[in-house]
Amino acid sequence: MVNTLTDDELTTRIRAVPDPEIPVISLDDLGVIRELRFVGDVVEVVMTPTYSGCPAMQAMTDAVVQVIESAGRRPEVRTRLTPAWTTDWMSEAGRTALRQFGIAPPGPVGMTIARRVVACPVCGSADTQEISRFGATACKALRRCRECGEPFEEFKSL
Amino acid sequence: MARQDADHTAYLLGLADDALIYCQRLGEWVSRAPQIEQDMAFGNIALDLLGQARALYTRVGELDGSGRDEDQYAYFRTEREYRNVHLVEAPRGDFAHEMARLLWFASYQCGLYAALTGSRDETVAGVAHKALKEVDYHRDHARMWVLRLGDGTHESHDRMQAALTWVAPYVDELFADDTAAVEAAETGVGVLPSQLRSQATVFVQGVVNEATLQMPAEPPRHERGGRAGVHTEDMGYLLAQLQHIRRSYPDATSW
């Protein structure tokens, strides 16, 4: 089956491509898709990477290319560095999905660590402490809830 | 290639090489750090640096007209073609040594990338905007560990102090103005390293004071030569480890 999707349907599919590391959020939730244009049978996508060295970016690009090609269109995926990606671009739906997945969503950028409240994604308590500033991926830190005792990951504000 | 373009690429190559070589050294820590959280921290910091290096190598490949991709710069140059400072190639010491090195290097990179956000080269400015957020986090990580070790036990205090003394001869080279940097600064692409010195020093001094440590005395000599491709003996071993697999399978397309 080739070229049976409308532009709107294909747009939805591209935006719904999941993050390879955190599959509960999509590229649209992350805010990495900055532009999406249809020019003839070419689909132009402009993406802004999250972290300079994030290995997931390549997987995201490959997935977008695959979605476009499987719809019988020609992908042109470009990277744009400026303005730099920020967690403020993450959607509310994405933040809710992160929380339900057990990852505390990022707070507003620019708030100092002392003033920032990171609520436990399990019990909602604000009484949590940082265990490690770096986690299993570039975008996360490790915390622990003093209330329910649960260790959890926090999506760092960037 | 015009002389200015040559200096422009040489300048960017130096920045990329600093990031790549330090990435390689930090990667050595994984499985050797005192805590698993520190394994992850080093791995993450190294990954950020690798990302910066990749973007800069790609830019150099566009500018120098050679058509080389990032791998060609990382894996297929010889030692004398690398322009990194000696600080990043120095062998791994103990954990305190690494925090002393990271504190200086991240402080330098914070000033560097802050300045480069205004680079006339838009790609460089874009890389800098992104990298600035990353290196600020690295610097804060180093700061917290230097405070913890310096203001910790007698043993940790003494070892942190020894680490600051160890790193001192390598610091000057970060802020030395070589021809390529001068040209890059004149054309608005880069920034003079000497202009970054006071801000970085003030930051490090502040951390050292707060950690109840002392800034070490002026070292008897300063490391030099990295920007001209003259390296220490350790660089050859580092490159052998970095490059040998890629060179053994030059036609490989996936890993």
User: Cβ(A132)–Cβ(B40) under 8 Å?
Assistant: yes
Q: Model confidence over B231-242: pLDDT tens digits? A: 999 999 999 999
> Is the pLDDT confidence value at A112 over 60?
no
pTM as predicted: 0.91
- Give the pLDDT of residue A152: 95
Q: Is the pLDDT of residue A115 over 70?
A: no
Strands A42-47 and A74-79: what pairing? parallel
**Range 126-185 of B in CB contact (< 8 A) with A:** 126-127, 129-134, 137, 140-141, 144
Structure token digits, residue B93: 């010491």
- Determine the pLDDT at residue B252: 85
- Write out chain B residues lying below 8 Å of A52, CB-based: 48, 50-52, 54-55, 127, 130-131, 134
Amino acid at A64: V
The interface predicted TM-score (ipTM) is 0.81
Cis amide linkage into residue A83, ω under 30° from 0: yes
Does the structure show a pLDDT above 80 at B3? no
pLDDT tens profile B190-248: 999 999 999 999 999 999 999 999 999 999 999 999 999 999 999 999 999 999 999 99
- Inter-residue contact A140 to A153 (CB < 8 Å): yes
Considering only CA atoms, which of B117, B122, B142 is closest in space to residue B203? B142
Whether residue A57 has pLDDT greater than 60: yes
- Is B48 in contact with A142 (Cβ distance < 8 A)? no
Q: Is residue B24 a contact partner of residue B18, using CB atoms and an 8 Å limit?
A: no
Residue of A nearest to B35 (CA): A132
CB distance from A46 to chain B under 8 Å? no
Taking the Cβ of residue B124 and every Cβ of chain A, the question of whether any pair is shorter than 8 Å is answered with: no
Q: Which of B42, B47, B56, B254 has the highest number of chain A CBs within 10 A, making it the mutation to test binding with A? A: B47
- The answer to whether B84 touches B21, Cβ cutoff 8 Å, is yes
Residue A83 touches chain B, beta carbons under 8 Å = yes
- Contact yes or no for A82 and B47 at CB 8 A: no
Residues B37, A83: C-beta atoms closer than 8 Å: no
Distance from CA of A104 to the nearest CA of B (A): 19
pLDDT digits (tens, 9 = 90+) for B50-107: 999 999 999 999 999 888 999 999 999 999 999 999 999 999 999 999 999 999 999 9
Q: How far is CA B223 from CA A69, A119, B226, B230, B231, in A?
A: 53, 48, 8, 11, 10
Q: Chain A window 87-126: which residues touch B at a Cβ cutoff of 8 Å?
A: none
Q: Give residues 28 to 67 of B whose Cβ lies within 8 Å of A.
A: 37, 40-41, 43-45, 47-52, 54-55
Per DSSP bridges, beta strands A151-155 and A140-145 are: antiparallel
* A81/B49 touch (CB, cutoff 8 Å), yes or no: no
Q: How confident is the prediction for chain A on average, in pLDDT? A: 91
Q: How many residues does chain B have?
A: 255
The pLDDT, as a whole number, for residue A75 is: 97
Which residues 212-251 of B have a C-beta within 8 angstroms of A?
Answer: none
Number of neighbouring beta carbons within 10 Å of residue B27: 17
How far apart are the C-alpha atoms of B194 and B87, rounded to whole Å? 16
Model confidence band, residue A4 (pLDDT cutoffs 50, 70, 90): confident
Least CB-CB distance to B41: which of A84, A85, A134?
Answer: A134
Contact assessment for residue A119 and residue A107, using Cβ atoms and an 8 Å cutoff: no
Are B132 and A158 within 8 A, CB to CB? Answer: no
Give the gap in angstroms from C-alpha B237 to the nearest C-alpha of chain A.
25
How much is the pLDDT for B253? 80
Residues of A in contact with B116 (CB under 8 A): none
Given an 8 Å threshold on Cβ–Cβ distance, is A134 in contact with B51? Answer: no
CB of A52 less than 8 A from some CB of B: yes
pLDDT at A2 over 80: no
Q: Work out how many CB contacts closer than 8 A connect A with B.
A: 70
Q: What spatial distance separates the first Cα and last Cα of chain B, rounded to whole Å? A: 35
Q: Tell me the average pLDDT across B136-161.
A: 97
Q: Is any Cβ of chain B less than 8 angstroms from the Cβ of A49?
A: yes
What local confidence, expressed as pLDDT, does residue B6 receive? 66
- Chain B residue with CA closest to A132: the answer is B37
**Residue pair A107/A86 in contact by the 8 Å Cβ criterion:** no
Q: Across all residues in chain B, what is the average pLDDT? A: 95
**Residue whose tokens read 């997987």:** A59
- Residue B170 structure tokens: 């390598």
